[in-house]
A = this chain, B = another copy of it.
Amino acid sequence: MKTLDLKQVLNGQSAGQTRKTYSAGETIAQQGEAAAALFYIERGQVAVSVVLHAGKEAIVGVRGPGDFFGLRALLGGGPRRASGIALTDCIIIHIEKSLATRLLQERLEFAGMFNDYLLRQHLRDLKRIISQSYPAKERLRQTLIEISNLSASGPAQPIKITQTMLANLVGTTRSRVSLFMNNFRRRGLVEYDRAGMLIVRKTLDKALQSRE
């Protein structure tokens, strides 16, 4: 199933879209500010995070090439409920709210593509929700696999992410993540390259449970 590429739709639209680059660590969208644009990731990875209470932070997901984020721009006028932070260097297309809503309401091919995207995102969300039935170690395993396969094409990508972020992503503590990662590493399921990037091996896919 080939989905329509965003660029085909955006071509011919001059106003309302901007292509920007961000370097790793930069904040692309900030929780609390007005949702003026919808974002599309052309390259790189973005963490979507929410600050809860007393500095506690939950990372709601990681998005990669081909993903949208900042969907709040399409829903009423409320402020953003989450932040988008570049995990790696990124190329992001900003689509202004007015353009995005217009495309959605007037262009059937855009609406169709976006529906398809939202359907797939919903399935990813469900996977994430299901994972809450598993213990932390299994959640970490699933999360690592998901992140390393974000760029659907080609083999698993090296990941740059701190243990603290992973902890906020799987809903556990950093000490736990450290423990689990070492376990995975001893079993040859993951490894770090010289740049400190995390490499997830295919063997992690079916790694069965084992006591830590």
Contacts and interface: CB of A to CB of B under 8 A. Distances in A.
Copies in the complex: 2
Interface in A64-93: 71, 74-76, 81-82
Interface string A154-186: 000000000000001001000000000000000
Contacts of A52: 130, 133
A20 interface: no
Interface in A97-155: 104-106, 108, 111-112, 114-115, 118-123, 125-126, 128-130, 132-133
A44 interface: no
A35 interface: no
A126 B71 CA distance: 12
A46 interface: no
Contact of A171 (B74, B126, B133, B168): B133
A24 interface: no
A171 B56 CA distance: 21
Contacts of A128: 125, 129
Contacts of A168: 133
Contacts of A71: 119, 122-123
B118 A122 contact: yes
Interface of A: 1, 50, 52, 56, 58, 60-61, 71, 74-76, 81-82, 104-106, 108, 111-112, 114-115, 118-123, 125-126, 128-130, 132-133, 168, 171
24 contacts: A52-B133, A58-B129, A58-B130, A58-B133, A60-B130, A61-B126, A61-B129, A71-B119, A71-B122, A75-B119, A75-B120, A75-B123, A81-B123, A82-B126, A105-B108, A106-B108, A111-B115, A114-B115, A118-B118, A118-B122, A122-B125, A128-B129, A129-B129, A133-B171
Given A114-B115, A121-B122, 8 more contacts: A52-B130, A58-B129, A71-B123, A82-B126, A115-B115, A128-B129, A129-B129, A133-B168
